[in-house]
Chains A and B, each alone.
Chain A
């Protein structure tokens, strides 16, 4: 049982490039999330999904896209990378919402230069 698995761990992008952060969970969780964490700013929700085929915007969705074709996978797409997207990205999942425990992946460190 691997939990939430993110790849890549580290990536350097040039301004204007695009990339996809991969996320997979093996806990059969319905809910999946993408957060970004910036120093002193806490965790900000980018997008979330309540099940396969259903996604919704979080607090900071601009510049990102997601898809949820299966229960297990929830990739995050960065289009036209900008320096403001330099951050640590965490994928997470939970069985349900509100009071359910959210489990996080190990994080993906992204630098846009």
Chain B
């Protein structure tokens, strides 16, 4: 079983839709949860960072962590064509020297 599972998509939505992206994980020691956005031919860039459980909101983006279910989500409200990218979840635990990445979900927002 992979430590981090992420549906690869692809996911296509119309402009203005609410997008939900999700990851599940198996290691209960994970404490740090991140979402990276990766545009085509570019490196990943940090979008959201959450420590432990709870919600975090930043503009149109909301990250949720449910540690009891080992499930994290990223919601994008009022999606825009500029949101079209691959979204990678990543997580880590105290003492780790690495991030554990999901495989990424490719999102296309259609004007």
List residues of chain A with CB under 8 Å of any chain B CB. 4, 31, 33, 40-43, 45, 48, 50, 56, 58-59, 90, 92, 97-99, 101-107
Contacts and interface: CB of A to CB of B under 8 A. Distances in A.
Contacts of B99: 43, 102
7 contacts: A40-B103, A42-B88, A43-B88, A50-B97, A98-B94, A98-B97, A101-B46
Contacts of B32: 98-99
B60 interface: no
Interface residues of B, number: 29
A41 B86 CA distance: 13
B59 interface: no
A105 to B, nearest CB: 5
A104 B43 contact: yes
A101 B92 CA distance: 11
